[in-house]
Structure 1
Amino acid sequence: MSMKPALLLSCALLLAACGQSPAPVTEAATAPAQAAPASVPGAQNSLQSLSVKPDALTVTVPEGASAVTFTLQGTKLPGGKVFPAVIQDGQASADLSGLPKGDPKYTVTVRAYDVPGGVVLYAAQTSINLSSGKVTAPLTFERVKADVTVTASPVLPETSALTAQLGEQTVTLTVKDGVASGTFAGVPTTGSQTVTVTGQSSDGQTTQSGTATFAVLEGGTRAEVKLTELAHCPVSTSPVTRVPAVQGSGDASPLLNQVVTVRGIVTADFQSGLRGFFVQDAQGDGDAATSDAVFVYTGTAPQNVQVGQFVQLTGTVNEFYSSTQIDTLTAFEGCTGTADVKAVELKAPFTDLEKYEGMRVTFPETLTVTDNYNYGRYGELGLSAGGRLFNPTNGNVTTTAEANAERKIVLDDANTSQNPASLPYLNAQGTRRTGDTVTGLTGVLHYANNVFKVEPTTAPAFVDSNPRPAQPADVGGTLKVAGANVLNYFTTFTSNDRGADSAYEFQRQKTKVVNALKGLDADIVTLMEVQNNGDVALNDLVTSLNTAYGTDTYLAVPTGTVGTDAIKVAIIYKPARVSLVGKFQVDTNAIHSRPPLAQTFQDKQGGGVLTVVANHFKSKGSCPKTGDVDTGEGCWNELRSQQAQALLGFVDRLKTLSNDQDVLLMGDFNAYGAEKPIQTIMAGGFVSENLRIPAEERYSYQFSGQFGYLDHALASTNLDKQVTGVTEWHINADEPTLADYNVEYKQNPECRTNVCTSPDLWQNNPFRASDHDPVLVGLNLTRDEVRQDFALSVSGAAEATAAQPYTLNLTTSTAPDTLSVNWGDGQTETLSSSATTATHAYASAGTYTVTVTATAGGQTQTAGQTVTVSAAPVVVTPPTSVTKLVISEVYGGGGNSGATYTNDFIEIFNAGSASVNLGGYSVQYASASGTSWSVTPLTSVNLAPGQFYLVQQAKGTGGTTPLPTPDASGTIAMSASAGQVALVEGTAKITGSTDASVRDYVAFSGLSNSTSASRVTPCTDTDAASDFKAGVPTPQNTGTAPTACVNPQ
């Protein structure tokens, strides 16, 4: 029913008692319970003021009550009558109108309720006299209490103990006929009370529970609880270990190699990929230092599990490469019930992740793909909080390698196989670029390969936040210059070559490179990593590029082979847009293995002059053990800094040569923006145009998940004012390597590796044409006047004879300031500025390149001539006595550059008519003008008439063919061009060719690495030069067929 609200007021006054004891309470209110607080405040046994009038009773309302009744019982009312009170200002008053006349004495019982018609909270009793208004005894309210009997069912067979919890009281229940019961005595009455019953198995599992909410009424209450079965496992006969105890608080489990029984909720089933599943303790141990989950390795014996399933298993604790796991299962049981484990939120910095190993985790913040290098090989992506990671020495942001590491987490594919056939996370374009993002990543945290990885339990929803750019950003200007690394563009495919492994791969590479260069559409392009095989690879690229344009759009600056590396830099240009000014220039400083290449151009439209320099500095890899090691900017940083300083000197010469201050340095400097080599160049008068690019876009290369720009555009201060824009076209660094031209491990018919399972993401587009992004610069050049070049040319015969004069003719456009010639044989000569010829005599045969250098007006020009020099006649000094043994051939070029044979040798021939035992003989050698002789003893061999004898000498590092089996061996390093050889009867060193023990003697000169001095016929010995000829070496030993002499000596 509906009641008007009543005010609650305190009671305080005490009326005088009449000395009478209160009669027992004989009537109890049993009105239906209504909602009320679970407990009612107010002290028990409180004395209340009772006002007695002939027609009314008034009492102070106890605290917490909102309704009061008075029950009067007397001689005239033996059955009693209830009078409801009206509450006002904390006083409850009852109108007693209608009482029978006569006896004024009554026993009065006062009851206070939580709500009108509700539960009795307080009761008190006393005797009164209505006529006199007296009370026989103080009115004392007492808190009403009652017993609560609790029953709970059904009880499971595995439940061995049940307890009931009511407020702060706990009662152990007893079970009979599948029903548990127990009683709470003296429970204060209330309109709402809740009891909770919990059942446990003998091994401590909570098997079932239930609750009931009820009113505690005056006179007692019965509460019935319906029990619900909870997730639990069969009773274990072995002690059960909590999962957190298996993990422990350290890096390794404290229970290593122990057999344990654990229970938990299956949070992820990766048995098809990781060959195991993850279980997590349903409640956890509350210790922040210990993980609540563990990986269960099943290997080739998978278990039938479902995510959310409660399981119990027994196995051995192991550390698999520092990842805690339970393996070698001896028991496994599925338990009743399922549960969902709430994921732990992780936010950067990602430190101290050991305490979450194996647990279900989620990342609420947006993560960015910052590393896709291993995407194709292992199906994993490196993700970072707060955007992509930049190299600390790039200059974009202030960071450290340690700070970067704390922002990175790896997303795995829950698969241990390499080169997976199906790649997760690919977008519709068949790629997954760095810079793309994912939010709300959820999975389990797994430790493998020395890093923590997220194995997703919900498919990550990637956003293509960094879509492929169809073309480079507009850089403005009337002239565009690009720098592009073409990733080892090789036209040959041997095992020693760096590029494509086959013509098929090369065609795929070429297609992407041509697409990239055509997309840049620059007027001048500097190229890095072109094969250094003359201009063969360069011309192939230009031809292919022009085919794509459908016209001869580009020409190459022809340099031939440049430097000592297998790759070189190169420059191509559009002849319709620019013209060459003078010859190309190469920095010949020995500090460079890939020398910078420079060419001056003039803009055909505006007339501006510009010198472009292509660069490729020493890489950061192939680190030495000592010396120029990595101190924070990669290995060889000092060498790169020296190359930068040398480049500045080269630039000074270029400015003088072109008479123009506009120089643009392009290329792969293998140094990030804030590193010493770049800072050296900037301090030398150059401006980094890359700094015009916004910091978040300023990168051209990805390494180990960190980004930076190794590819630079550095303009001289004068040229910087003419730059209109710069961009890095992000077609390569953001792409996974799987998109490149290679077919290794891919599902491609041309794949030749032992496994060809990865998807082939190659497409006919520019993306992943290289590992470096190209740089594009826009220019509005100021018009310049071009100075006429100083010219030099040379001419001369292509052949000459050793020791004979050779003349070279010289022609210059104007009188030179200096003039010099390098004859190519180690001899140089300074000529007068008016010289028109130069003469030189070569000491030995060979091919020589003559280089003439002339300077005039600050310009330097060189010109060359190749000369092939033939050998001078062999000079033979006759021996002092006639002998039957002769030296038939001498060769000192073995093992040298260009040689066929690997060793020097001396050949002996028996030109006599009788055999000679060579035991005790020796061959001896001295330099052409020397007097100190080296000795090689001969072996004891009976050398028959017409038979040859071969003495092998020192071996060089060159040559391709070993000598025939020698008859004797020595270690004498003979000169390839000139020397003395003697055949001696004895082994003591001679003092000269006239010693009595000398049986034959030959002095030779004018030979080379590829020629020997041999007798025209071995039987002829006239002690004349005509006995010998210079030619291809033909070593012969005792195994060679004898040569019969017609008239043996």
Structure 2
Amino acid sequence: MPSKKSARLAALTVAAVCSAASTVVLTAPAHADSVRIHDIQGSTRISAYSGKEVTDVAGIVTGVRTYGSSRGFWIQDPQADDNPATSEAIFVYTNSTPKGVAVGDAVTVSGTVQEYVPGGAATGNQSITEITKPTFTVVSSGNAVPAAVVISAKSVPDAYAPAGDTAANGSVNGLTLRPSAYALDYYESLEHMNVRVADARVVTGTDAFNELWVTVKPHENANRRGGTVYGSYESQNTGRLQIQSLGAAADFPKANVGDKLAGTTTGPLDYTQFGGYTLVASELGTLKSGGIKRETTQKQGRGELAVATYNVENLDPSDATFAEHASAIVNNLQSPDIVSLEEIQDNNGAKNDGTVAADQTMQKLIDAIAAAGGPTYDWRSIDPVDKADGGQPGGNIRQVFLFNPERVSFTDRAGGDATTAVGVTEAKGKAALTVSPGRIDPANAAWTNSRKPLAGEFVFRGRTVFVIANHFGSKGGDQSLHAQYQPPTRSSETQRHLQAAAVNAFVKDILAVQKNADVVTLGDINDFEFSGTAKLLEDDGALWSAIKSLPKSERYSYVYQGNAQTLDQILISPSIRRSCDFEYDSVHVNSEFNDQISDHDPQVLRFRP
């Protein structure tokens, strides 16, 4: 994924599509007596002035940005019109650090209006209306900043976005804004204006870029730990808003989900590539802790098999997180019998020199677990072909089975390698793998530049359990929830659907030989429990995503842009589901915290084979 602070891309040239009432025909540069900021902004997302020169546009400076790739200042007209769809503010893009201008200055600005798309047109993001190549004059200083518009549960509509114009490939750009009907229209009608939230609860903890997310709707799909759950493609959660700061990075609060920005947080409403509408705060509320703690799951009973999945986020021997991962496995996960590890890198991590072995990575983790008071685990995996499985270049990530040999044994069947497909055979009336560990259909185009599933055969108290470790293709390339295209396109799911179908077919091969076989399919599925990917994995009842045994408010393993959501899943075969003798736990140790060691929460299934 590109950096959130990536270099500014060239502005997208967008044809201005406006209603007749807001279209202005220009025959000469416009002057302040006829063109105000709300004229430039108009009542659609695209300015009728895009690409045109304007002169002496008046406003009060409400914020100055001196850092990053988008430097400049915001101005707002204190003389608002009577149209709630038209913003009264605009960003003046100076490219370099703006000089000679301060908050409270009354200025007139001349320059060229442009529609800038953060991240570039290919992202499908909305555009920002701004004035570029500016010249400006300070008319007076020390003026009062226009009063901030309060964004609250009452002001933000419950519907997220209108359906896009089918004649414009689903874009909402040409539609007249309806700020009382749709949340995205409401936020767009406030683009660049001075806004305020009060006593806002944090729903995504502070990240490495000094950003966090709050909600102005504390009851909207809330969970018991303070987050906001994303439970369907129709529940985008309209109260979410990203917070950045115009202040020093060192002063930005280190917040966790459930904390609160008490008091008021005020500043211009921007739009960013990875967050959409963003309040860039000149005044930050005071951080009040919500007090959430990292969770600990229940210890498995003597007759229970505990199987877990844990994405350890590009773990290689140079990382400083081994002791913390070990502590999470031993103390928070209670030393599961089998752990599917995702994103184990090779022995020298991202160094791109042809190394594919990961024995040093695994030995360091096993030693750290033992040092933390856990069992001495054993492990099985298959080294990938160099650079064939995606992920960080040179890292050669793969899935690994970590297992406690004092509780469970691994059935080794020779012949498995990066290119050999595992099959299913019959042995004494029971299903068995042809190779163990083995990879599922590695030549299938579904796995191009993606991790191949790892299948293994385990025995617990005399009962065979088949485990399939997965790491499906990422969601990179999908249009964001806040995109100009509504509903947004999820292009990445095409590959995941093929992957899900391949895994489902393999599970059906096992069940065709042994109807009552215990099969656990787990890992970083990179898709939701309600998604088409999950439905294809579950096809014909071959599997069932066990996270659905939890209340809807508890179904999450990952927090992204204010939405608590499910990416990591454990799916079970009919024999396990029918027994009703299983417990599922999404163990929240990472996703809600600013000091996370991975961006995923591990999942644990306990059952009696």
* TM-score (normalizing by structure 2): 0.63
Distance 1:686 1:297, change over 3 A: closer
Q: Are 1:701 and 1:772, in contact at CA under 8 Å, matched by a contact in 2?
A: yes
The answer to whether structure 1 residue 486 and structure 2 residue 307 are counterparts is no
- Retained in 2: the 8 A contact 1:276–1:302? no
Counterpart of 1:412 in 2: which secondary structure?
A: strand
Distance 1:452 1:652 in 2: 51
Q: How large is the Cα RMSD of the aligned pairs?
A: 4.2
Alignment match, 1:678? 534
Among 347, 363, 368, the alignment partner of 2:197 is 363
Note closer, same or farther for the CA distance 1:573–1:331 as it changes in structure 2 (3 Å cut). Answer: closer
Distance 1:667 1:399, change over 3 A: closer
Q: Structure 1, residues 171-223: CA drift from partner, whole Å, max 9, x if none?
A: xxxxxxxxxxxxxxxxxxxxxxxxxxxxxxxxxxxxxxxxxxxxxxxxxxxxx
Match of 2:603 among 757, 775, 782: 775
**Structure 1 SS opposite 2:405:** coil
Give the match for residue 729 of structure 1.
Answer: 587
**Which one of 287, 299, 322 corresponds to residue 83 of structure 2?**
287
Q: Find the counterpart in structure 2 of residue 422 from structure 1.
A: 249
Q: Is the CA contact 2:246–2:282 (under 8 Å) kept in the aligned structure 1?
A: no
Partner of 1:639: 499
Q: What aligned pairs does 1:433-444 form with structure 2 within 5 A after superposition? A: 433-434=256-257, 436-438=259-261, 440-444=264-268
Q: How far apart in 2 are the matches of 1:488 and 1:714?
A: 24
| 1:305 paired residue number | 102
Q: Following TM superposition, by how much is the alpha carbon of 1:698 offset from its aligned partner in structure 2, in angstroms?
A: 1.3
SS at match of 1:485: strand
Report if aligned partners of 1:689, 1:715 keep a CA contact under 8 Å in 2: yes
Higher strand share: 1
Partner of 1:348: 156
Query: Retained in 2: the 8 A contact 1:366–1:438?
Result: yes
1:242 & 1:639 partners in 2: Cα distance? 54
1:782-814 per-residue CA deviation (whole Å, 9 max, x = no partner) reads: 7xxxxxxxxxxxxxxxxxxxxxxxxxxxxxxxx
1:465 deviation in Å? 4.0
- 1:327-382 alpha-carbon deviations (Å, 9 max, x no partner): 633532316x743532223332432244323322223584543486xx434x3334
Tell me the distance in 2 between the aligned counterparts of 1:634 and 1:437.
39
**Distance in 1 between the 2:382 and 2:130 partners?**
60
User: What is the aligned counterpart of 1:554 among 362, 376, 393?
Assistant: 376
Q: Identify the structure with bigger relative contact order (alpha carbons < 8 Å, sequence gap 6+).
A: 2
- Please give the residue correspondences for 1:503-902 in structure 2 after superposition, counting only pairs within 5 Å: 506-519=318-331, 520=333, 521-531=335-345, 533=356, 536-537=359-360, 539-541=362-364, 543-549=366-372, 553-558=375-380, 561=383, 565=389, 566-579=396-409, 585-587=436-438, 589-590=440-441, 594-603=452-461, 609=463, 611-620=465-474, 633-650=493-510, 653=513, 655=514, 661-682=517-538, 683-702=540-559, 706-720=563-577, 721=579, 723-735=581-593, 767-768=596-597, 770-779=598-607, 781=608
2:211 corresponding residue in structure 1: 380
Q: CA deviation at 1:384?
A: 4.7
**Counterpart position of 2:134:** 328
Corresponding residue of 1:158: none
Partner secondary structure for residue 727 of structure 1: strand
Structure 2 residue matching 1:369: 3-state secondary structure: strand
Unaligned runs of 5+ in 1: 1-236, 391-395, 416-420, 491-502, 740-766, 783-1049
Q: Report Cα offsets for 1:141-182 as digits up to 9, x if no partner.
A: xxxxxxxxxxxxxxxxxxxxxxxxxxxxxxxxxxxxxxxxxx
- Mapped partners of 1:588, 1:306: distance in 2: 61
1:635 match: secondary structure: helix
Mapped to 2, the partners of 1:325 and 1:405 lie a distance apart of 32
2:521 and 2:188 mapped to 1: Cα distance? 48
Three-state SS of the structure 2 residue aligned to 1:362 is strand
Q: Is the 1:730–1:774 Cα contact (8 Å) retained in structure 2? A: yes
2: distance between equivalents of 1:472 and 1:549? 15
Change (3 A) 1:398 1:538: closer
Cα distance in 2 for partners of 1:487, 1:238 equals: 54
Once residues 340 and 47 of structure 2 are traced to their aligned partners in structure 1, the CA distance between those partners, rounded to angstroms, is 54
**Matched residue type, 2:110:** G
* 1:133-532 matches, cutoff 5 A: 242-250=36-44, 251-252=46-47, 254=49, 257-258=52-53, 260-270=55-65, 275-296=71-92, 299-300=96-97, 302-303=99-100, 305-307=102-104, 311-316=106-111, 318-319=113-114, 321=116, 322-325=128-131, 328-334=134-140, 338-339=143-144, 341-346=146-151, 347-349=155-157, 350-352=183-185, 353-363=187-197, 366=200, 368-370=202-204, 375-377=207-209, 379-386=210-217, 399-400=232-233, 404=236, 407-414=239-246, 422-427=249-254, 432-434=255-257, 436-438=259-261, 440-447=264-271, 449=273, 451-465=276-290, 467-469=292-294, 471-474=295-298, 477-478=301-302, 479=304, 480-490=306-316, 506-519=318-331, 520=333, 521-531=335-345
What letter corresponds to residue 131 of structure 2 in structure 1? Answer: Q
Ranges in structure 2 where 5+ consecutive residues have no aligned partner: 1-30, 117-127, 158-182, 223-228, 347-355, 390-395, 414-434, 479-488
Work out the CA distance in 1 between the residues paired with 2:136 and 2:198.
39
Aligned partners of 1:272 and 1:507: how far apart in 2? Answer: 30
1:609-628 deviations in whole A, cap 9, x for unaligned? 3515032154246889xxxx
CA distance 1:318–1:642, change in 2 (3 Å): same
CA-CA distance at 1:459 after TM superposition: 0.8
For 1:478-503, what per-residue CA distance to the aligned partner results, in whole angstroms no more than 9, with x for missing partners? 4433222233444xxxxxxxxxxxx5
Q: Specify the code of the residue in structure 2 equivalent to 1:635.
A: Q
Matches within 5 A, 1:81-120: none
Aligned to 2:427: none
Closer, same or farther: CA 538–719 of 1 in aligned 2, 3 Å: farther
Shift of 1:252: 2.0
Q: How far apart, CA to CA, are the structure 2 residues paired with 1:585 and 1:369?
A: 42
Does structure 2 retain, via aligned residues, the 8 Å contact 1:489–1:537? Answer: no
- Measure how far apart 1:316 and its partner are: 3.1
Contact 1:616 1:667 in 2 (8 A): yes
8 Å Cα contact 2:411/2:456 also seen in 1: no
CA distance in 1, matches of 2:343, 2:272: 36
Answer yes or no: is the 8 Å Cα contact 1:616–1:670 preserved in 2: no
